[in-house]
Structure 1
Amino acid sequence: MDDMTDGPDTTAVRTALWRGLHGLIDDRPLVVDDPLGVLIAGVDDDWRSRPDMDPQRTSTNRASIVARARATEDLVAGSGVSQYVVLGAGLDTFAQRQAGAVTVFEVDAPATSAWKSARLSELGLRTDSLRLAPVDFEAGQSWLDAVVTAGLDPDLPTVVSMLGVTMYLTREAISETLRAAASLAPGSVTVFSYSRPIEMAPAEIQPILHVAAEGARASGHPWLSLLAPAEAVTLARDAGFVDAELVTSTDLHDRYFADRTDGLSPAGGEDLVIATVGPRGGA
């Protein structure tokens, strides 16, 4: 699987590798136990020697990745919904790892969706609860139309996630995506992650973020939207959500990392916004 031209982009692969690395090197208990993303990625056996897999230098990134995944998966499990939409799914593996019967709709570019479908089939991994919903965003296609076409019932409460995506979108594109999510059935919940402006990060993390930003720009995926917490919440409320709860990286640390002895922490990484659709007609 060396040729990733028609597969997931480099950011999706890196995210999957960080989730896998967590299971290999960090102390127990694991925040998320996900060895499948590495398997699906089909990377070379020496992937752990990549500079972006350095255990210490990228520990905050790794912790942030598993924290946002755990928080979202806990939300799905605790909500009782039967439908879960993953925007910018990449190498997400919740559909393969879940113990329940939630139907998972993965939204991604057509080439990525086709590649992933073939890869899951090749590996014999579970797809009974998975619905792939390819969307050509550059052609103006609607992700909501795509998931409904794939079988989503818009009259049933749904969880929507958009993790590690907003930084690559314009504010206008974020708002448009959130407005579509806010049109789902009452009780639906959208969780999205965002990154703060670099100058708002802890001083010791800022040099790492500057390097990451330059790397993203060089790879053709520049960071377009770094949001202050109040701005992220306002985007959700302006999109039509009746409630928008801020969950900071410090909150995630307190929730999942406070008792750890290995020093792993997402503090200074991505925050989350959890936005809820209110009753029809407002209020």
Structure 2
Amino acid sequence: MTQTGRPSRTALSSARARAVHQRADSPPVFADPLAERIVDGLGEPPTPPGTPGMPAEVRLFMALRHRVAEDALRASAHTRQVVILGAGLDTFAYRNRDPALRVFEVDLPATQAWKRERLAASGIEVPDTVAFCPVDFAERNADEALDAAGFDRHAPAFFLMLGVVPYLTTDALLDTVHFIGGLPAPAEIVFDYNQPAAALPPHRRPARAAMVEAMARTGEPWQSFFTPDEIAAELADAGFFDVADAGWRECVARYALDGSLQDLFGGRIVHARAKGTATGALAATATGAVTAAAAGTERSQ
């Protein structure tokens, strides 16, 4: 995803897109009051000559994937732990107000060190509910780092992997979804991915080719592409039983956005569920829900 020892450029550009979205797109489809603070004072990330600026539609897609993910998370009544794979400058953990919800942030060591510097410089408090898990999961699974940080494999979990999949190899993505789908307890995941150029209408391919070229010039190239059928098949093989796969038009309609906005590169957003491999996992989930309700623990974001 990035060069060893350096923080991710795409993490900065994604955070900057969320910050610009707060004031440039009215009303914002995704509210992130900390986005501007975490990028405040940082200059534009260096890009090679000829690299185009970010189109408004790309910025909106970045906001949409966060909105879809956090809507799904809020609807997941039994989740008490969230894992953000490739966390970058994501601010969910610092906007979360539920003291019973544990958030594990997984990313490259250099990117996490840089993020912690940005949090301190921005005056954003790191709550006790956050656990940092430095690991390059493009090379190995995050399971060891998660275990060391206190992740409970036998408790329901929600995984976010936003703006990450295109930069992974196919094998790295499949290893990750098989790890999640093979957990003993029920799990959910939201991620976005890009389709191969051949799956796009001809008139969209030049803009998409320009974006692929631009990402390669930054040193963080897109490495994997999937069709919806391929994603559905791989997730089913990994143990996921319920897959919702939304494209640009579905998201624009869902959130009542401007229908004239164009899909520039064919990005899609997936929300999938796995039942958990342990016998009685679903029953344990129901018991945990009753216990949580009795204790009066409610999520508030």
- 1:279/1:218 CA distance change after superposition, 3 Å: closer
3-state SS, counterpart of residue 243 of structure 2? strand
State the match for 1:223 in structure 2. Answer: 222
Q: Is the 8 A contact 1:244 1:275 kept in 2?
A: yes
> Which runs of 5 or more residues in structure 1 are unaligned?
none
Q: What does 1:188-203 correspond to in 2, within 5 Å? A: 188-203=187-202
Distance 2:228 2:174 in 1: 15
State the match for 1:134 in structure 2. Answer: 134
Q: Is the 8 A contact 1:166 1:174 kept in 2?
A: yes
Per the TM alignment, residue 125 of structure 1 is displaced from its structure 2 partner at its CA by 0.7
Q: Return the match for 1:85 from 63, 83, 87.
A: 83
- 1:5/1:155 CA distance change after superposition, 3 Å: closer
State the match for 2:103 in structure 1. Answer: 104
Q: Is the 8 A contact 1:250 1:267 kept in 2?
A: no
Q: Return the match for 1:34 from 29, 32, 35.
A: 32
3-state SS, counterpart of residue 37 of structure 2? helix
- One-letter amino acid of the structure 1 residue matched with residue 124 of structure 2: L
- One-letter amino acid of the structure 2 residue matched with residue 280 of structure 1: T
**Deviation digits for residues 108-166 of structure 1 (CA, Å, limit 9, x no counterpart):** 0011112212321232213113211100346x443122122112211110000112222
Per the TM alignment, residue 205 of structure 1 is displaced from its structure 2 partner at its CA by 3.6
- 1:141/1:170 CA distance change after superposition, 3 Å: closer
Q: Please, what is the CA RMSD of the aligned residues?
A: 2.8
**Could you tell which deviates more after superposition, 35-44 or 90-99?**
35-44
Q: Is the 8 A contact 2:208 2:264 kept in 1?
A: no
Distance 1:14 1:196 in 2: 21
State the match for 2:272 in structure 1. Answer: 275
3-state SS, counterpart of residue 240 of structure 2? coil
3-state SS, counterpart of residue 242 of structure 1? strand
State the match for 1:235 in structure 2. Answer: 234
Distance 2:33 2:276 in 1: 39
Q: Is the 8 A contact 2:252 2:258 kept in 1?
A: no
- 1:239/1:218 CA distance change after superposition, 3 Å: same
In terms of Rg, which structure is larger? 2
Q: Indicate the percent of aligned positions where both proteins have the same amino acid.
A: 33
State the match for 1:63 in structure 2. Answer: 60
Distance 1:12 1:247 in 2: 23
Per the TM alignment, residue 71 of structure 1 is displaced from its structure 2 partner at its CA by 0.6
TM-score in terms of structure 1 length: 0.85
Per the TM alignment, residue 263 of structure 1 is displaced from its structure 2 partner at its CA by 4.8
Q: Is the 8 A contact 2:184 2:278 kept in 1?
A: no
- 1:119/1:262 CA distance change after superposition, 3 Å: same
Per the TM alignment, residue 199 of structure 1 is displaced from its structure 2 partner at its CA by 3.4
Distance 1:161 1:274 in 2: 9
3-state SS, counterpart of residue 179 of structure 1? helix
> Which runs of 5 or more residues in structure 2 are unaligned?
283-301
Distance 1:73 1:279 in 2: 22
3-state SS, counterpart of residue 39 of structure 1? helix
3-state SS, counterpart of residue 145 of structure 1? helix
- 1:161/1:45 CA distance change after superposition, 3 Å: closer
Distance 2:93 2:122 in 1: 14
**Deviation digits for residues 18-54 of structure 1 (CA, Å, limit 9, x no counterpart):** 11111111121x111224334323454678xx97555
TM-score in terms of structure 2 length: 0.80
Q: Is the 8 A contact 1:242 1:278 kept in 2?
A: yes
Per the TM alignment, residue 261 of structure 1 is displaced from its structure 2 partner at its CA by 4.9
Distance 2:188 2:160 in 1: 9
| Higher RCO by CA contacts (8 Å cutoff, separation 6 or greater) | 2
Q: Is the 8 A contact 1:104 1:130 kept in 2?
A: yes
Per the TM alignment, residue 94 of structure 1 is displaced from its structure 2 partner at its CA by 0.7
Distance 2:102 2:150 in 1: 9
